[in-house]
Structure 1
Amino acid sequence: MYKDTAKWLLTFTPIAAIVTLALTLAPRVGAIAATGFTHWVVANPIATAAVALTLFAAAIIVVLCSHVLLAKPRPWTELRADDEWCSKAFSDDAVGVPLFGSSTSYEKIEVAALQNDATAAEQTALAATSRRMLELSEAQNAEARFKRFIWGYGICMVIIVAGMCIATAGVPLAPDAVTKPTKVSILLPPDGESRFTEETQCATVTGTTAIAVRGLWDRPVLRLFGPGCTQAEWTPTAEILIAPK
């Protein structure tokens, strides 16, 4: 029961979280590729942290669930040496029904089997009871792990829901990416001419030819051609408008 429940939770929760994040980020893939992953992360630290926390919480759920699914019974020699556990297994969990009502009766037949004095029916009941004892031990271990899992699951679910909400609201709707070199106009603020010439070494903005080569259209990366212009790529500041010609 515990393994089946953990498996059901594993099937739906992490997969749903990852699919939701994929649908959230899919429209921004072009923008991320155009600006570069590192630059996009630096520009959107809160959304990036939300995505990372969501994925981390989903991974924790997978690990905790796997811990439940991998639960095994205690070693047989350890179980047989635990008199208190054996007594409860027969009295409370009825592992020996219908032939063995207590651990004492089971031990008597076990000794008889070792001495080849047990009947075929007793040997069959002995094997079935031993199997049920191992199954009980496995179920108890799975239950103990499931209790830890459910606490971790609840905490991780809070993180996942919060992370997806922040990521959905925080990831900006990105402008179109520059997909091919495009000639553009540079529109400067009233006091922007001197700053432009200082940053680019161009003589004047009117005598400069600007080509958008990559990035996003809100702040594309430009190559400038004109008297004195730097050969390096240049990215305008936010107050400078760039318009395709």
Structure 2
Amino acid sequence: MSVYDSGVSAYRDTTKWLVAFVPIGSLIAAAVTLGPDLVESIQASNGVGNWLGDYWFAVICGVVFLLGIGAILYFGAAVLSVAPTDIGAIQEDAFAPTLAKAIGEGVAAPEFFTPEAFRSAMADLANAWDGKDPVSDDDPRLTRLRTPLENLRQWSIFNSVQARFSDFVLAFILGVAAISTAIILAPAQLNVGPAIEKPTVVLVELSDTGEADLEKATSCSGTDTVFTAIDGTWKHPTLAVDGTGCDFGATWRPGPGEAEIRPQPANP
């Protein structure tokens, strides 16, 4: 194994570990941190449109989170998918700056020390192959180029992987920052508050949409309705309702903006 193979393996192994660990770890962290609140907020919402409107900031955090993971996967795949330069491309003008860099680093030494000498030898070999007489395996024109060509192909992989790994490191840093920011900020809007531990009579101020939804869900139509928080959290409670016109054993789960709920003060 050449020094270039070792370098490529080191870059790729590092990339594999980071690509495998960070997205999976981020998804687990997001599920543990945001999962319960996310489910609770969806259950309390009156449709997708209302949920998106009420939790738009959490949606933005989710998009940023996915973009962070996507950037890490995309640039990681770029490192892992590098292929050697085709032999034919080595003679092209577009490869000339890269060839000069490689030979300047001694990749083709001791056979060649300048790009011009290497390209001239390649041209001589190509002309010989185009001739009538076949080129044998021990032809000096071929044996002189065999090792430098192999070294150049290995170096081309190393050079490309090294450049793409630099891009991957930047994408990794930005991706982790985006993922962390999303996980930290999203709970600020998704926070559903403490759980309701025991049935508690509450005061409820209904909005117009809340009144309509309450009547639709429970048939309650009077002003004497008594609300008791029995389940859920204080931000998204399930209320038992009793009063004029209410269905027997009716419960209601108000959506965002439909009701302002607070515990009823104790009697003095």
Same structural fold, with TM-score higher than 0.5 when normalized by the shorter chain: yes
- Give 3-state SS (helix, strand or coil) of 1:239's partner: strand
Distance 1:151 1:201, change over 3 A: same
Aligned with 1:66 (options 39, 60, 77): 77
How many residues were matched structurally?
230
8 Å contact from structure 2 (residues 192, 235) kept in 1: no
Aligned with 1:57 (options 48, 64, 68): 68
Deviations 1:92-139 (A, max 9, x none): 232455xx2342685388459734245179756644433322222222
The sequence identity of aligned pairs, in percent, is 20
Instruction: Please tell me whether residue 78 in structure 1 is matched to residue 89 in structure 2.
Output: yes
* TM-score calculated relative to the size of structure 2: 0.61
Instruction: Please tell me whether residue 156 in structure 1 is matched to residue 156 in structure 2.
Output: no
- Give 3-state SS (helix, strand or coil) of 1:238's partner: strand
- 1:1-245 to structure 2, matched below 5 A, reads 1=8, 2-28=11-37, 31-32=40-41, 34-35=43-44, 38=48, 43-82=54-93, 83=96, 85-95=98-108, 100-102=111-113, 103=118, 106-107=121-122, 110=125, 114=129, 115-119=134-138, 126-167=145-186, 171-172=190-191, 174-176=193-195, 186-188=201-203, 200-202=220-222, 204-205=224-225, 216=233, 218-222=235-239, 224=241, 226-229=243-246, 233=252, 235=254, 237-241=259-263
Distance 1:187 1:223, change over 3 A: closer
Q: CA deviation at 1:53?
A: 1.4
Deviations 1:210-236 (A, max 9, x none): 687986465434575653348995637
Q: Which runs of 5+ in 1 are unaligned?
A: none
Q: Which amino acid aligns with 2:37?
A: R
Distance 1:62 1:166, change over 3 A: same
8 Å contact from structure 2 (residues 57, 189) kept in 1: yes
Q: What is the CA RMSD across the aligned residues, in angstroms?
A: 4.5
- Give 3-state SS (helix, strand or coil) of 1:129's partner: helix
Q: Which runs of 5+ in 2 are unaligned?
A: 1-7, 215-219
Q: Which amino acid aligns with 1:227?
A: T
Q: CA deviation at 1:162?
A: 2.3
Q: Which amino acid aligns with 1:94?
A: V
8 Å contact from structure 1 (residues 18, 55) kept in 2: no
